[in-house]
A = this chain, B = another copy of it.
Amino acid sequence: MRSVLVATDRIAAEDLTRLSKFAEVVEAWRMNDAEILPSLPVVDAAIILGWPSFFTRENLSRMKKLRFIQTVSVGVNQVHFQDLPVRVTVCSNAGAYSTGVGEHAWGLLLAAAKRIPQADAAIRAGGATIEGFRAEAKDVMILRGKTMGIVAYGGIGRAVARFARVFGMDVVALTRRRGGDKGVRFYRGAKGLKTVLRLSDAVLISIPLTRLTEGLIGARELGLMKKDAVLVNVSRGDVVNQRALYEHLAANASFSYATDVWWYREGKETLETEFPFSKLSNFVGTPHISGPSTVASGEPQGAAVTNTVRYLRGLRPRNVVDASEYQRSG
């Protein structure tokens, strides 16, 4: 019987039971490093959320049978691809977060478009009046009739496109795919990105962070966007150049950025930014809560187990990652 190492405590008992019908389950999150060590040579597959601390280069070299890693997260940029032999297939959990993260993205868009956090904070601070806010009514964006841009069109992008259409928006999307989807105009490549940014009143960033997409949205790209656009990020902070964004927000009061994701600092996502975004009223932030709130529903873990079972049964697993887009020199 094969062996699956489970490195996260977030998987429900019934999903572990389901998994145990196809493999011996090593619940590594219950063990200390010394206890894990004897299992490493027999492990065929692993289910992880973050990158486990015991997945050091040394320990990975002990895992001679490891052929498959499934992440519970939708992004896989935490994976140390440079330490993995080519025989190891890495699968993301694309699609498993479309509901929760899509909903959160739409909440961020509406919060920024309607200026909800700003108004709520001003009322809490005291002294505000209904009449005093009347002058700001014209700055509230009505979504109906506007254009929603999606960068790029994966599971979360597709969910947001459906919301945009029922809100009466035109939808334009960056994609690698051929073909189309009802009511969505597709664009491809670097030129396509520019077109999407230029056309859109609101833009969703839902593209994976890879070495190709790091800093994808810089000063030039922000400069292509409409002056009063809303940019929503539910992917990873580092898809956007931090300095360029800060300067763009500081110079364009009617442009908004609403994000659930933050920049990495020494390899760790943190609310501590290099520029004082919290001083800007056109910045709205939540603390990377969309993924964990979806994990709280149990759905992504179920999908991760299902895909691992596919692998164990000899079926072609879904969401195989192209490692060449992630390997870094550093």
Contact = CB atoms under 8 A, between A and B. Distances in A.
A167 B110 CA distance: 14
Contact of A142 (B103, B138, B162): B103
A286 B110 contact: no
B116 A286 contact: yes
A293 to B, nearest CB: 4
Contact of A294 (B142, B162, B269): B142
Contact of A293 (B128, B129, B140, B166): B140
Interface SS of chain A: helix
A270 B294 CA distance: 38
B119 A110 contact: no
Interface residues of A, number: 57
A285 B120 contact: yes
Given A99-B142, A138-B293, A142-B99, A130 B284 contact: no
A191 interface: no
Interface string A127-163: 0111011101110101110000000000000000011
B136 A286 contact: no
Nearest to A135: B292
A95 B56 CA distance: 62
A302 B128 CA distance: 30
Nearest to A103: B143
A100 interface: yes
A107 interface: yes
25 contacts: A99-B142, A100-B142, A103-B144, A103-B167, A107-B107, A107-B111, A107-B114, A107-B116, A111-B111, A111-B116, A111-B117, A116-B117, A119-B286, A119-B287, A120-B284, A120-B285, A121-B124, A123-B285, A128-B287, A130-B270, A130-B287, A132-B287, A142-B294, A163-B166, A166-B166
Interface of A: 99-100, 103-104, 106-108, 110-111, 113-117, 119-124, 126, 128-130, 132-134, 136-138, 140, 142-144, 162-163, 166-168, 262, 269-271, 278, 284-290, 292-297
